[in-house]
Amino acid sequence: MAGTICVIMWVLFITNTVWTRSVRQVYEVHDLEDLTIHDFECPMECFCPPSFPTALYCENRGLKEIPAIPSRIWYLYLQNNLIETIPEKPFENATQLRWINLNKNKITNYGIEKGALSQLKKLLFLFLEDNELEEVPSPLPRSLEQLQLARNKVSRIPQGTFSNLENLTLLDLQNNKLVDNAFQRDTFKGLKNLMQLNMAKNALKNMPPRLPANTMQLFLDNNSIEGIPENYFNVIPKVAFLRLNHNKLSDAGLPSRGFDVSSILDLQLSHNQLTKVPRISAHLQHLHLDHNKIKSVNVSVICPSPSTLPAERDFFSYGPHLRYLRLDGNEIKPPIPMALMTCFRLLQAVII
Query: What pLDDT is recorded for position 4?
Result: 46
DSSP per position, 72-125? T-SEEE--SS----B-SGGGTT-TT--EEE--SS---GGGB-TTTTTT-TT--E
- Report the 10 Å Cβ neighbour count for 24: 7
Q: Identify the residue with better confidence: 9 or 269.
A: 269
Query: What pLDDT is recorded for position 6?
Result: 47
What is the Cα–Cα distance from 297 to 276, expressed in whole angstroms? 7
Please name which of 134, 147, 37 lies closest in space to residue 102, comparing C-alpha atoms.
Answer: 147
My answer on whether omega of the bond before 209 falls inside 30° of 0, hence cis, is no
Query: What pLDDT is recorded for position 168?
Result: 98
What is the Cα–Cα distance from 9 to 196, expressed in whole angstroms? 18
Can you name the CATH fold of 35-123?
3.80.10
- Chain-centroid distance of CA 28 in Å reads 26
In DSSP terms, 170 is beta-bridged to 146, 196
- Report the 10 Å Cβ neighbour count for 263: 18
**35-123 and 225-306+313-351 have identical folds:** yes
Section 134-161 average pLDDT: 97
- Report the 10 Å Cβ neighbour count for 308: 8
Q: What does the domain layout of the chain look like in residue ranges?
A: 35-123, 225-306+313-351
195-235 pLDDT, tens per residue? 999 999 999 999 999 999 999 999 999 999 999 999 999 99
Record the pTM. Answer: 0.88
Q: State the CATH class of domain 225-306+313-351.
A: alpha beta
Please name which of 101, 88, 92 lies closest in space to residue 60, comparing C-alpha atoms.
Answer: 101
Residue pair 102/128 in contact (Cβ under 8 Å)? The answer is yes
- pLDDT tier, 338 (very low <50, low <70, confident <90, very high otherwise): confident
Section 177-184 average pLDDT: 96
Please name which of 339, 233, 337 lies closest in space to residue 294, comparing C-alpha atoms.
Answer: 337
Lowest-pLDDT range, 61-70, 254-263, 294-303?
294-303
Q: Which amino acid is at 309?
A: L
- Report the 10 Å Cβ neighbour count for 218: 22
Residue 310, CA distances (Å) to 156, 230, 318, 321 in order: 49, 28, 7, 15
Burial class, 335, CB count within 10 angstroms (exposed 0-12 / middle 13-18 / buried 19+): exposed
What is the Cα–Cα distance from 183 to 187, expressed in whole angstroms? 6
Query: What pLDDT is recorded for position 14?
Result: 52
Q: Which of 20-24, 40-44, 66-70 has the highest mean pLDDT?
A: 66-70
Residue pair 250/277 in contact (Cβ under 8 Å)? The answer is no
What is the Cα–Cα distance from 59 to 63, expressed in whole angstroms? 8
